[in-house]
Structure 1
């Protein structure tokens, strides 16, 4: 029996933001000679290199948001409206991180009008029968994408510690199928994404409703069975509940223009890291030397 390939899907935005804020908090922007900060971009590359050495994938893909405006903003003006703009030191690092990713030999993916989550969901849908998949992210919304062949590794501490969710673990902990998680999110809302859900229904009540009834539609059809307070809250917020579900649901049908074979993990050459070091990306070069015994 042949072993399935192992695909590592990286949420590039999550790792870039995480790396930036981890070092920016101490004022470590690690600038190039011209003063351009590199802390987030270098941290992102180092994180992926370390993950690769731990998880040993055969294939790798990096997913990105392509600008702040997506189809979700068309659905709802308030979507992510309360998020602060990225710090000025981070602005040049979005393109820098994508360029470094390409130079490392990793394929970047992003689709205008879609979020990285939607691209990740579509990759899982496309390749879940072809490969065992691990997604690295910090975004709990991705739990809805778990399948028997897909696990989500949430960043925990540094570059080496992860909280890994499998399909089985999710069902044991939540008592629902992963695809129902967006319906739970719809009831409880998400303040960081700016959608309200049903005011007054928190995570525990939201989960209990979906465990009991299975879906938003079935909850609405069974309102008479609910306590009067809960029933009133839902009745008064039905439109926002349905909209919240649309916003919380990750798309899985975004076209992925790539053959699986093109995602094969590259071999790393000494000259790649030497060139990066000469341009001022010294932390990446140092990491490469420790991981790949490159002189």
Structure 2
């Protein structure tokens, strides 16, 4: 096992889709797509391996789980039909790599988790809350929505531009940089919405106003209780869009009670170098062997 020997347990929860999409676009810049001699595209898997391994070496987990979306239909699309309806079609070259990357993570001895009807975020949130009682948790992602999961035992690691650059958020770091608590991040999205996920929040209220309101009144409930103190324009926007405010906040909330099961012991990370090398050879990944030598 390639980690420092320690009595402390440290879990790395990987947002698989975030890494895979980031890897695809980073390695297809300019139009070139890496493929095997049989014509199978592999660029996203190749980039994923580099991102994954860099994080594993930096944070030295004893346990790892990789979480995946399992289709576009979830309980959120049932609540709001337009949820993520603005997403463009997946690049054709990426489609065959969804299964390949899971085979690759399995070769690394990593458990893959996905749950139909839920997003990877919900699996991550549920497992993070489960594991936090036994281990220190690190969530590897590029998605700032995950910041709502931060607590004293759960660190959210945001991948920044360039491999090996991370912002690690604890409750203290979050408050210092963003002025908000983890819970307030859910309220923030309820107020300002999310263009990437295609829910509106309160139209006309942007991030700056939303943060100001939350710093002053603490929560959506605190804002509503003090509507009479708000400027008329802001008050009117909230009053006329209360239903969408509450729905947007519910869409933003990561479920931490999803019916996903993976005992911590099942996520113990044991690297079988021969298994990884075999997969590298199959996908013709020359140059990656030195990473795990």
Both structures adopt the same fold (TM-score exceeding 0.5): yes
Query: Matches of residues 127-138 of structure 1 in structure 2 within 5 Å?
Result: 127-138=131-142
Aligned to 1:16: 20
What is the deviation of 1:31? 0.7
1:94 is paired with a residue of what secondary structure?
helix
Moved more, 91-100 or 150-159: 150-159
Task: Check whether the contact 1:117–1:250 (CA below 8 A) recurs between aligned residues.
Answer: yes
Task: Check whether the contact 1:128–1:149 (CA below 8 A) recurs between aligned residues.
Answer: yes
What is the deviation of 1:153? 1.2
How many angstroms apart in 1 are the aligned matches of 2:196 and 2:280? Answer: 37
Moved more, 71-80 or 249-258: 249-258
Moved more, 62-71 or 255-264: 255-264
Aligned to 1:242: 246
How many angstroms apart in 2 are the aligned matches of 1:173 and 1:157? Answer: 18
1:29 lines up with 2:33 in the alignment: yes
Output one character per residue of 1:52-93: Cα deviation in whole Å (capped at 9) or x when no partner.
112111111101001111111001111110110111111111
Aligned to 1:290: 290
**Cα RMSD between the aligned structures?**
1.5
Residue 106 (structure 1) aligned to one of 77, 101, 110: 110
Aligned to 1:141: 145
Aligned to 2:172: 168
Query: Matches of residues 110-129 of structure 1 in structure 2 within 5 Å?
Result: 110-129=114-133
How many angstroms apart in 1 are the aligned matches of 2:100 and 2:17? Answer: 12
1:210 is paired with a residue of what secondary structure?
helix
What is the deviation of 1:150? 1.3
What is the deviation of 1:17? 0.0
Task: Check whether the contact 2:190–2:201 (CA below 8 A) recurs between aligned residues.
Answer: yes
How many angstroms apart in 1 are the aligned matches of 2:199 and 2:12? Answer: 30
How many angstroms apart in 2 are the aligned matches of 1:78 and 1:102? Answer: 34
Task: Check whether the contact 1:64–1:116 (CA below 8 A) recurs between aligned residues.
Answer: yes
Residue 272 (structure 1) aligned to one of 271, 275, 278: 275
What is the deviation of 1:211? 1.8
How many angstroms apart in 2 are the aligned matches of 1:148 and 1:29? Answer: 41
Task: Check whether the contact 1:14–1:137 (CA below 8 A) recurs between aligned residues.
Answer: yes
Moved more, 196-205 or 26-35: 26-35
Aligned to 2:3: none
Runs of 4+ in structure 1 deviating by more than 4 angstroms, as ranges, are none
Moved more, 54-63 or 159-168: 159-168
Residue 209 (structure 1) aligned to one of 213, 216, 224: 213
What is the deviation of 1:37? 0.4
How many angstroms apart in 1 are the aligned matches of 2:257 and 2:284? Answer: 37
How many angstroms apart in 1 are the aligned matches of 2:227 and 2:265? Answer: 50
1:82 is paired with a residue of what secondary structure?
coil
Which TM-score applies when normalising by structure 2?
Answer: 0.94
Output one character per residue of 1:104-148: Cα deviation in whole Å (capped at 9) or x when no partner.
210001111111111111111101121111111000000000011
How many angstroms apart in 2 are the aligned matches of 1:3 and 1:280? Answer: 36
Task: Check whether the contact 1:29–1:39 (CA below 8 A) recurs between aligned residues.
Answer: yes
Aligned to 1:89: 93
1:257 is paired with a residue of what secondary structure?
coil
Aligned to 1:281: 284
Which TM-score applies when normalising by structure 1?
Answer: 0.93
Residue 51 (structure 2) aligned to one of 47, 50, 74: 47
How many residues in Structure 1 have an aligned counterpart in Structure 2?
Answer: 288
Task: Check whether the contact 1:51–1:159 (CA below 8 A) recurs between aligned residues.
Answer: no
